[in-house]
Structure 1
């Protein structure tokens, strides 16, 4: 047993922190902000996430259910963009 917690079982603020440090998420965030071929830094990706989730701090994902739902939707969009899951149909 490694003692590692699966990503899906981590608290939302921890998930958000990991995502913001992921170069693929940084590219995804840059693309979503109109910078095709761009690469955000971790701090720019965090700002993007806070803007999309309408929060001042990632810790708000613990108590703000609407923000957590927006984060989950963003994470689903990212997973679809990376090909981890099928893209939702319109």
Structure 2
């Protein structure tokens, strides 16, 4: 039996694909886009993620450092939204 690779050790492309397939991230993307919970599926969540990161497809993460940095920001905002970490916006002066 092989050990699972921790999420943070996956490529940005893989992380993005996994996120877009989760209902919770789809609900987050819908809310951030001004739509009600339950209205986004994989495709809409993927479009939101690509727009947020400024890319046309996930393969661009391989060569686009800025897009990877934006994905990290998006993951932080998503983690705060779902209550895994404190909201970083709450700590701004």
- TM-score normalised by the shorter chain: which range applies? over 0.9
Identify the residue that residue 33 of structure 2 maps to in structure 1.
33
Aligned residues: 90
Identify the residue that residue 22 of structure 1 maps to in structure 2.
22
Identify the residue that residue 7 of structure 2 maps to in structure 1.
7
TM-score, normalised via structure 1 length: 0.93
d(CA) in 1 for partners of 2:19, 2:46: 9
TM-score, normalised via structure 2 length: 0.91
Q: Unmatched 5+ residue regions in structure 1? A: none
CA deviations 1:7-55 (Å, max 9, x no partner) are: 0100000000000001000000000001133430101100000000010
d(CA) in 2 for partners of 1:74, 1:59: 17
Alignment RMSD, CA only? 1.2
Q: Unmatched 5+ residue regions in structure 2? A: none
